[in-house]
Structure 1
Amino acid sequence: MKTNVDLYELLECVGDAIIVSDANEKIVLWNPAATRIFGYSEVEALGQTLDLIVPERQRQRHNEGYSKSMETGITRYGTALLKVPAKHKDGSMLSIAFTVGMLFNENHKANGVVAIIRDETARFAEESALKKRLSELEDPTA
């Protein structure tokens, strides 16, 4: 399908982070929204692994899943919206929601992943506060 949409302009204007990593988890695309959300400039992020934003306690599981996806060409998440913690450059924790898609070379071998990521930190904090308040209202002795 031919389109008049400039891919660079699209990457620059969207509000969600778009991050592409290769088969070795090296970041090869980092849009301005990724900089806004995670704090790293494009120059700082390109060539780094996804460990840049994956919290320490999730890294082993993440790395195992990533490797398996590269071997099999399948992600177990499909088009599901994933909600996980992430790490900002300043060390603070974020709550993110994202979808992932597998990328393939001309031989149909998996060679990367694209993630579309939204910062849900404020919404998650509001939801947690509301749940706490509801719990207090339901059980005033709590």
Structure 2
Amino acid sequence: MQSAIDYAQLVNAIGDAVIISDAAGDITCWNPAATRMFGYTESEAMGKTLDLIIPERLRGRHWDGYQKTMATGQTRYGSDVLRVPAVDKEGRALSIAFTVALLRSPQGELTGIVAVIRDETARFQEERGLKKRIAELEVQAQQI
């Protein structure tokens, strides 16, 4: 018993950001969770490049990898969860975790990439604080 899935409804209802970019890197899908996470409305994001959310210092590396993926039709990330810095509309730094998948036409031509993104800023900051505290305790233990 398989029922039809309304993919547009799924993308709009999901709690994680779903961003699709075409072969040139222009945004073609921006769901409500992406708006909540990054601050840009769908109309502000559509047709723009992913530079909206990529920190300036990382853009060159990102685009080198993106263009290589589009040229080869392969990504080295597969189903790995990637953790990288991002920025929101106000310029605030975020720590995001995401997976990517390649999108293809019915003829098999690579048409773009979808990313499913979660904001892990709070978790990252908590982890960094815990690591700092562990380092402090290790120093104290060595002094005993």
Report the TM-score when normalising by structure 2.
Answer: 0.93
Amino acid at match of 1:75: T
| 1:106 has 2:96 as partner | no
The equivalent residue for 1:15 is: 15
The equivalent residue for 2:72 is: 72
Query: Number of residues paired by the alignment?
Result: 142
The equivalent residue for 1:125 is: 125
State the distance in 2 between where 1:29 and 1:48 align.
11
Amino acid at match of 1:127: E
Structure 1 ranges of 4+ moved more than 4 A: none
Is the Cα–Cα contact under 8 Å of residues 12 and 31 in structure 1 kept in the other structure?
yes
State the distance in 1 between where 2:3 and 2:74 align.
28
State the distance in 2 between where 1:127 and 1:136 align.
14
Report the TM-score when normalising by structure 1.
Answer: 0.94
Amino acid at match of 1:42: E
The equivalent residue for 1:93 is: 93
Amino acid at match of 2:53: I
State the distance in 1 between where 2:81 and 2:17 align.
14
The equivalent residue for 2:83 is: 83
Amino acid at match of 1:105: S
SS of match in other structure, 1:94:
strand
TM-superposed CA distance for 1:105, in Å, is: 1.6
Tell which structure's C-alpha radius of gyration is larger.
Answer: 2
The equivalent residue for 1:137 is: 137
State the distance in 1 between where 2:134 and 2:57 align.
30
State the distance in 1 between where 2:101 and 2:45 align.
20
Is the Cα–Cα contact under 8 Å of residues 72 and 110 in structure 1 kept in the other structure?
no
State the distance in 2 between where 1:44 and 1:121 align.
23
State the distance in 1 between where 2:5 and 2:105 align.
23
The equivalent residue for 2:51 is: 51
State the distance in 2 between where 1:9 and 1:17 align.
14
> How big is the alpha-carbon RMSD for the aligned residues of Structure 1 and Structure 2?
1.7
SS of match in other structure, 1:80:
coil
Percent identical across equivalent pairs?
56
Flag structure 1 segments of 5+ consecutive residues without an equivalent: none
